[in-house]
Structure formats: structure tokens, C-alpha cells
Amino acid sequence: MFNDRSTPLSLLSTRRSARPREMVAPGPSDAELRDILTIASRTPDHGKLAPWRFVTVGADRRDRFNEILQDAFRIDRGRPDADDVSAIEQFAHQAPCLVVVLYSPQESAKIPEWEQELSAGAACFNLLAAAHAHGYVGGWITGWAAYSDAVRDHFGEAPERIAGFIYLGSPGVELQERPRPEYDDVVSEWRGT
């Protein structure tokens, strides 16, 4: 299923995202998910503010999640057509496991909000890496729902924002490697000029 994950470097070099719509059971057990989220919390966090939090959406709550998304679409974008309704329903029900990651900025005189946002992004990545280490695939999705206050209000309150919907499961199809940037295109040496 995966390349060797026996060392930290091979784990990091083989992690890749999967499409949530292609994920199948099994997903993480309750104990595995607890471990994944505990690891996700071990992220760079200047000032120890924990400016993020995780909300799990169980399989028994996916129908309600779909209702929330359908209602929010109407509020944000107007009457959905049949394709919108179908896409929203798929979004709500895809993959065995769903974690909503909230960016929860903390008031701080010392830690800028930008650093807190970076910490939330790092927590999302740690979640994906921990899922991979447990033998699962993950997909970090945003889209219109992540920017909808009507959706956010069911998980948190302003000034919180949805950092992403992270879906976890097993791959239903063989994962394809995507193009990666060329080393020289993204790495340079500063010469002090």
C-alpha cells in the first residue's frame, strides 16, 4: 500500500495527500484518532497559545453535517442546483473519518496573529503526517465551506476560522504522485546582498 515508513525520513518523503472521495474504510479507530490528534498538537507554537483546536465529526453526525452545509450554501450562495446538492452531500459523507480544524487566535501582546496562523497550519500538517504514520491517508480540504461563517458557527465562533476539513481513511485507489517543485526552483542561498 505504502512505501517504507519505518524511519522518520522515509515517513516524511512518502507522505502525500489522497482525495477524500476515493477514501474507504477502515479509518482510524477511536484510539488511533486520539493518538493522531495528540501528535497533531505537538506543533510549533510560539508562546504556548494552542491557537487551534480539533472537532471530530462522527459517522453518525454526517447527515447533520450535510444539512448544515446545504443550509449554509443557501445563505452564502443562493439556491443550489442539483449538482451543488450532490457535491455538498458527497463532501459531507466522504471518507471514514473527518476532523474539522479550527484556527483559534488567542489574544497576545507578544505573539502576532500571523505566527498563530502558521501554528494552525503546522497542526494540520502534523495531523496528516501522524495519520500517514498510522497507515492511513489524509486529505486537507478547504473550499467555500471553510470560509462560510454559517458553517463555522456550528463548530466555533468568531474570530475562529476553519483552517480545513481533514479527511482520513484508507486509499480506495492507488495513490498517484503529483508533480513536486524542482529543488533549484524553491531553494536558494542568501549571499548577504
Domain boundaries, the chain: 18-57+95-172
pTM score, two decimals? 0.93
Give residue 1's pLDDT. 37
73: its cell numbers: 450554501
The 10 Å Cβ neighbour count of residue 14 is: 14
pLDDT tens for each residue of the chain, 193 residues long: 344 556 778 888 889 899 999 999 999 999 999 999 999 999 999 999 999 999 999 999 999 999 999 999 999 999 999 999 999 999 999 999 999 999 999 998 899 999 999 999 999 999 999 999 999 999 999 999 999 999 999 999 999 999 999 999 999 999 988 899 999 999 999 999 7
Shortest CA distance to 97 belongs to which of 165, 35, 161, 168? 168
Q: Is the separation of the CB atoms in 169 and 23 below 8 Å?
A: yes
Shortest CA distance to 36 belongs to which of 131, 141, 171? 131
Residue 155 in 3-state DSSP?
coil
Amino acid 124 reads: C
CATH number of the domain located at residue range(s) 18-57+95-172 in this protein: 3.40.109.10
Angstrom distance (rounded) from CA 137 to CA 134: 9
Give residue 7's pLDDT. 78
Q: Residues in the chain, how many?
A: 193
Contacts of 1 (CB under 8 A, 6+ apart): 135, 170, 171
Give residue 2's pLDDT. 43
